[in-house]
Amino acid sequence: MYDISIIGGGPVGMFAAFYAGLRNADAHLIESLPRLGGQVSALYPEKDVYDVAGFPHIKAKQLVAELTDQLKEFAPAISLETTVQTITKEADGTFSIGTNRGTYRSKAVVIAIGNGAFAPRKLAFDYDHQLDERRVHYFINDLEDYRDTDVAVAGGGDSAIDWALALEPIAKSVTIIHRRDQFRGLESSVEKMKASSIQIMTPYLLSALTETNDRLTIDLKKARTKEDASITADHLIVNYGFTADARILRDWPIDIKGATIPVNTNMATSTDLIYAIGDVVDYPGKMQLIASGFGEAPVAITQALQEIYPERKQPLHSTSLIH
């Protein structure tokens, strides 16, 4: 039984999990994606963020790296690729948290799901899904997995370009395939890509994938023409962005307002011991900013601990904690 389960491993959930550890709570952080960082990792890892206190500016992925280091300090339990489906209040007042990987028990819950569960946009045509994670990838975990291989990257946004550029010095070859002639990435990144050895195939749409002789054959159709093309590669990295789905909120035992959760000044929802923080909450003056969420996390954790352990002394300053 955990003291506090935090649903959503975006920046706000990560900081909440760290803060819960700082306050000696047994915390569990649950994230549906295979990696932490929420929108910051998934949507703009290469962008500079200018409004996080203490950093004049910081690259988004660096901010997630710093949050990860901070989080490790108290080693909370972290469940990745785990999507919370149900939250049930049991007769003893604790919660059962139902996920795609089993049920967890917790004394309190902090919801930090942002705009909802993220999922990568998949290829639109049918293909053999046994190729997933072996030859077709929707996430890159380690660039080294692609060393000396031929890699194709599908997509035309910042993230696709950034991955192509990051892979170029490591892979044997990198080909980027985009359905339009114009890329949507930062101009400087597009220029860097054009000046690099990355092969650019535009305007092409992917139409089929087959594996032959340990290689992937990627069939392409040139946009607005009947022209077909085909390339072979060891890996295909698909970077078509993410979808967010907050519909699950409707099944949880709390009042909601559209895709948001109304909270009071204690970050409490309509149900005792369920709190909400970050982009998902609604209160007068709410700003969907990382800094706002960082302020909400200590409030929710402190309130949860006060309710679970009313007898515990609640220190206010981290400088007064010995660890």
Ligand X SMILES: Cc1cc2nc3c(=O)[nH]c(=O)nc-3n(C[C@H](O)[C@H](O)[C@H](O)COP(=O)(O)OP(=O)(O)OC[C@H]3O[C@@H](n4cnc5c(N)ncnc54)[C@H](O)[C@@H]3O)c2cc1C
Residues 242-301, interacting with ligand X (CB under 6 A): 248, 278-279, 288-291, 293
Among 40, 198, 254, 299, the residue binding ligand X under the rule CB under 6 A is: 40
Q: What is the DSSP letter of 101?
A: T
Residues 67-106, interacting with ligand X (CB under 6 A): 83-84
By C-alpha distance, which of 63, 74, 65, 59 is closest to 29?
74
Q: Which range touches ligand X (CB under 6 A), out of 4-12, 67-75, 137-145, 250-258?
A: 4-12
Contact 17, 301 (CB under 8 A): no
Contact 305, 3 (CB under 8 A): yes
Q: What is the spatial distance between Cα 141 and Cα 112, in angstroms, rounded to a whole number? A: 23
Is 117 or 300 the residue whose CB approaches ligand X more closely?
117
Binding-site residue ranges for FAD: 31, 39, 44, 84, 118, 279, 319
Among 8, 21, 156, 298, the residue binding ligand X under the rule CB under 6 A is: 8
Binding-site residue ranges: 31, 39, 44, 84, 118, 279, 319
Among 32, 159, 260, 303, the residue binding ligand X under the rule CB under 6 A is: 32
Q: Strands, E, within 112-161: which ranges?
A: 117-120, 136-137, 150-154
Question: Any contact of residue 185 with ligand X (CB under 6 A)?
Answer: no
Is 237 or 300 the residue whose CB approaches ligand X more closely?
300
Is 87 or 218 the residue whose CB approaches ligand X more closely?
87
DSSP alpha helices (H): ranges in 113-246? 158-167, 187-195
Question: Any contact of residue 114 with ligand X (CB under 6 A)?
Answer: yes
Give CB contacts under 8 A, 24+ apart, made by 143-149.
143/167, 143/170, 144/170, 146/170, 146/171, 146/234, 146/235, 147/171, 148/172, 149/233, 149/234, 149/235
Among 6, 7, 216, 261, the residue binding ligand X under the rule CB under 6 A is: 7
Question: Any contact of residue 49 with ligand X (CB under 6 A)?
Answer: yes
- Tokens of residue 251, six digits: 């099944």
Q: Which range touches ligand X (CB under 6 A), out of 33-41, 191-199, 213-221, 264-272?
A: 33-41
Question: Any contact of residue 62 with ligand X (CB under 6 A)?
Answer: no
Number of C-beta neighbours around residue 244 at 10 A: 17
Residue 249, Cα to own-chain centre: how many angstroms?
18
Among 2, 95, 104, 118, the residue binding ligand X under the rule CB under 6 A is: 118
- Tokens of residue 253, six digits: 């035992």
- List of residues contacting ligand X (CB under 6 A): 7-13, 30-33, 38-40, 43-44, 49, 51, 83-84, 112-118, 248, 278-279, 288-291, 293
